[in-house]
Amino acid sequence: MSEELVYLKAKDLQDLMQVKFERAGLLPEHAQEVAKHLTYADSRGVHSHGAVRVEYYSERIAKGGTTITPNFSFEKTGPSTGVFHADNAIGHVAARKALDYAIDMAKENGVAVVGVSQMGHSGMLSYYVDIAAQQDLVALAVCQSDPMSVPFGGTKPYFGTNPIAFSAPTNGERPIIFDMATTVQAWGKILDARSKDNEIPPTWAVDETGAPTTDPHKVRGLLPISGPKGYGLMMMVDILSGSLLGLPFGQHVSSMYADLSAGRNLGQLFILINPSYFTDLDKFKANLSKMIDELHENSPAPGFDQVYYPGELSEIRHNKHEETGIPIPTGIYNYLQSEVVHNNQYDNSDAFAEK
């Protein structure tokens, strides 16, 4: 049976998470940014990257695996390139600061390629490309993660879920935003299913024998999307956000849970394009809005009520949750309200272990 849910206004949820992060040791401004990011995820129904992550982050912060007062620096390596050195700060803050450099660079030079080196987990990539699109930029973001996916034809995890996010501005209120893991589902989706005691589809993951499983508690490996195609994409992401920045790759990427007193040393890459350097900006935005209209006019297939553009359902969920409140499992809500910083359940555990 699924766990009961509590419905919270976005501001209330953000405030609860910010307090928890501050108690764990984050600076108030950093705690606020992370809480804002996680609320963004939960409000769009991407609960795998929302409040379910708070206790893990809090334990890592409290145990020293997150640099509380990081020595940030930006190394400009060319007119349109640079590396933001994150000093193993919490990834949401590091990536957000790096994005500002990339936005300024793309506005000035037409394109920007900015890497983020040695950071912690940075959350939902669409959060960043959304910000870039609202600045009239096209954005692509990729990020490596610890090995949890079996390679096509293999049985032992090698690459991470290695997500890709894309955005582009329109002449409407909201940009086009697309965000995906290169696995069938992100690991956070498994965590979300565990927290609600829900089954998962058999196409998401495998158990310790390599057989498909519907039990989120038995997952020991995630599956790449579309077999060899997803496998190739996750390798591409690992190269762009890891090897390109001189960071560990593949199975050498640090585990999320192996040692919470140590930094993750993860990498992320932003590629931003200024459309006005290639075409008329207003025409570009109008064409994308027309594309959306034409997709909506496409006749839906049996079992579908409408054709949506990729990522549109997340925005629909956001609008719904503004009215109904954001659904949070009771167990997570009780933890957020408690005085407990963490329950010492993640450190030195297997990535797939029950927490």
Write out pLDDT tens, residues 139-169: 999 999 999 999 998 888 999 999 999 999 9
Query: For residue 254, how many C-alpha atoms fall within 13 Å in the half-sphere facing its CB?
Result: 20
Give me the residue label for tokens 């409408």.
Answer: 306
Q: Which of 16, 10, 12 is nearest to 42 (CA)?
A: 10
- Residue 43: the pLDDT is 98
CA distances (Å), 147 to each of 150, 179, 229, 257, 301, in order?
A: 8, 20, 18, 12, 37
- pTM for the complete prediction? 0.94
Share of the chain above pLDDT 70, in %: 99
CA gap 283, 260 in Å, rounded: 49
Share of the chain above pLDDT 90, in %: 86
Of the candidates 30, 121, 318, 342, the residue annotated as catalytic is 121
355 or 232, which is more confident: 232
> Tokens at residue 210, please?
């390599």
Mean pLDDT for the chain overall: 95
Least confident window among 202-211, 263-272, 328-337 = 202-211
- DSSP 3-state assignment of 242? coil
- Residue 151: the pLDDT is 92
243 pLDDT above the threshold of 60? yes
* 275 belongs to a structural domain: yes
How many structural domains is the chain composed of?
A: 1
Query: Could you tell me if 72 and 87 are in contact, meaning their C-beta atoms sit under 8 angstroms apart?
Result: yes
* 37 belongs to a structural domain: no
* 233 belongs to a structural domain: yes
- Residue 45: the pLDDT is 95
pLDDT band with cut points at 50, 70 and 90 for residue 242: very high
Write out pLDDT tens, residues 98-147: 999 999 999 999 999 999 999 999 999 999 999 999 999 999 999 999 99
1 pLDDT above the threshold of 50? no
Residues whose CB is less than 8 angstroms from the CB of residue 325 and which lie 6 or more positions away in sequence, other chains included: 7, 8, 9
* 246 belongs to a structural domain: yes
Task: Note down the domain range covering 119.
Answer: 70-282+312-321
CA distances (Å), 17 to each of 31, 182, 283, in order?
A: 8, 28, 41
83 pLDDT above the threshold of 80? yes
The DSSP code for 72 is: -
At 238, which CATH number?
A: 3.30.1370.60
Other CB atoms within 10 A of residue 36 CB:
16
* 338 belongs to a structural domain: no
Query: Could you tell me if 81 and 351 are in contact, meaning their C-beta atoms sit under 8 angstroms apart?
Result: no
264 pLDDT above the threshold of 90? yes
- Residue 136: the pLDDT is 98
* 89 belongs to a structural domain: yes
Write out pLDDT tens, residues 8-54: 999 999 999 999 999 999 999 999 999 999 999 999 999 989 999 99
pLDDT band with cut points at 50, 70 and 90 for residue 251: very high
Q: What are phi and psi of 150, to 5 degrees?
A: -75, 140
Kindly state the helix (H) or strand (E) to which residue 62 belongs, with its residue range. helix 54-62
* 130 belongs to a structural domain: yes
Active site residue 121: yes
* 196 belongs to a structural domain: yes
- DSSP 3-state assignment of 177? strand
